[in-house]
Amino acid sequence: MSTVPENINELIAAQGNVVRSLKAQGAPKTEVDAQVSKLLELKNLKLGDAKNGSKKGTQFTLKTPKGTRDWAEKDVALREKIFGTVTDIFKRHGGVTLDTPVFELKEILTGKYGEDSKLIYDLKDQGGELCSLRYDLTVPFARWLAMNPKITSIKRFHIAKVYRRDQPAMTKGRMREFYQCDFDIAGTFDSMVADSEALKILVEALDALNVGKYTIKLNHRKILDGIFEVCGVPSDKIRTISSAVDKLDKMPWENVKEEMTEEKGLPEEVADRIGEYVLLKGGPELLAKLKADEKLSANKSASGAFEDMKLLFEYMENFGILDRFSFDMSLARGLDYYTGIIFEAVTEASAPKKIASKKDVKKSDDPEADRSNDDTIGVGSIAAGGRYDNLVGMFSSRKNAQLPCVGISLGLERIFSILRNRIPDDELRANEVEVYVMAFGGGKEWTGFLKERMNVCSELWAAGIKAEFLYKVKAKPRQQFEAADKYGVPVAVILGQDEFNGGNVRIKRMGQKENSDEGVLVPRASMVSELKKLLASL
């Protein structure tokens, strides 16, 4: 139940101005739609108040929960295109699909996500078990592997919704319910072979999706751990300091250092030593520089990872993808389960605006508020992943239960937000209908040819052609053209009395002026073959 504000009319007027201003500025459609939804919500609130009469002050508001949205028509079509693109790539590399429950036992998810564990949605106990909505697809996969010990190697992919109680920024793809597209390789193989193919798959997916210019930041968790050890970070602070370092993509080193020293109790001289390393980025030449560091090379964790990275760079060069990566020492990835390489992809369109200091961070009195208009919030990484060799073993008491894994994860909504703003609206179709079956005629004797249109559609459907017709007995030509144009149907089959009497139909290309092309007359018997030829040429 929601209380109706006394100044509801002022709020409606102000929100209307926001919508008009965005439209005048040519703002992205997703941003305009988000503001229109808010305007409709206010109008519904006022309408409900007027209907309630004596019950003034309470009204059920029709809306989706914060951080979620409805998907319809062209948006669904684009999302399904993304699904299809990545699924084809995953199958090309030998992936088999897996589906797991949308919720897991709470104890399965607990302790796997570091500081992000606070974002897990817990469910009320309704059946004697404490459960939570899945936070990602990786932990459920590891749990499944632990439950199926006979599986010692698998390439698995999973496209499904996950849930995070994060502060939303809807128009930038930061949501509380969203799809992830994961590909993971589980099994014991020679060093870095599976890792390099995982990275190859990631590059293929981002190229195929046409997300624009992108960079994949790459690091190794053991090199980072080695740096922290050499610099003097206590072992119990390594993960929290790692989380602070991971914020270097959106705030300057001075603020990250302040978080380390003032919020997390790290001595200033230790933070300064960390700064000498984590601001470095490059390629194979950076690896050579790190190996030349005597203290770092003497560290067991880092030295072993150096050999991994040397091999990885060689294999990436063989795959022709080395130039897509930046060896970035600031990349830490906050999730606790990573044990080897870590990576994340960002585009020019997805990177957040880097703030000059923490004072520039826009704060809201409502921690639940949508932050779509906050320019310090970007889409963020559109894909990420890494190696996690110990996660499966966390779910099993058996000896030698470890099953090494490496995986990638694409954030579909974040990719969608980039593509939706880039692709012109008229290039997207809400459905895939290829042929609209119409009937033209007139006079008292005209029946509308409804049954004839049904017969033609049945013949087209049986031939595998996607077809529709208007659900009216006597449909006017303009009504039929408008129905076809609404979804961008490319071809029309037109039935007229004269054509029908002669055993013919007329095939017409759509998307042109009605009088500029009357179409081609073809025998009814060859209608299907002629349509297939035409559709194949479009």
Residue 517, annotated as binding a ligand = no
Domain residue ranges in the chain: 8-56, 73-100+137-422, 435-537
User: What architecture (CATH level 2) is domain 435-537?
Assistant: 3-Layer(aba) Sandwich (3.40)
Residue 337, annotated as binding a ligand = yes
Cβ-based burial of 44 (10 A; exposed 0-12, middle 13-18, buried ≥19): middle
Contacts of 286 (CB under 8 A, 6+ apart): 280, 327, 329
Per-residue pLDDT tens digits for 223-244 = 999 999 999 999 888 888 888 8
| Alpha carbon distance 238, 228 (integer Å) | 7
Residue 333, annotated as binding a ligand = yes
CATH of domain 73-100+137-422: 3.30.930.10
User: For 434-462, what is the mean pLDDT?
Assistant: 93
pLDDT of res. 10: 79
| Confidence band of 515 (pLDDT split at 50, 70, 90) | very low
- In this model, does residue 209 exceed pLDDT 60? yes
The answer to pTM > 0.95 is no
User: For 158-177, what is the mean pLDDT?
Assistant: 82
Q: Percentage of residues in the chain with pLDDT exceeding 90?
A: 56
| Alpha carbon distance 160, 206 (integer Å) | 18
Per-residue pLDDT tens digits for 367-424 = 555 555 545 555 578 999 999 999 999 887 776 578 999 999 998 888 988 888 888 8
What DSSP element (H or E) covers 80? helix 73-92
Contacts of 108 (CB under 8 A, 6+ apart): 139, 140, 143, 395
| Alpha carbon distance 225, 233 (integer Å) | 9
| Alpha carbon distance 312, 325 (integer Å) | 11
Residue 436, annotated as binding a ligand = no
**Is the CATH number of domain 8-56 1.10.287?**
yes
Residue 137, annotated as binding a ligand = yes
Per-residue pLDDT tens digits for 117-141 = 888 989 987 778 899 999 999 999 9
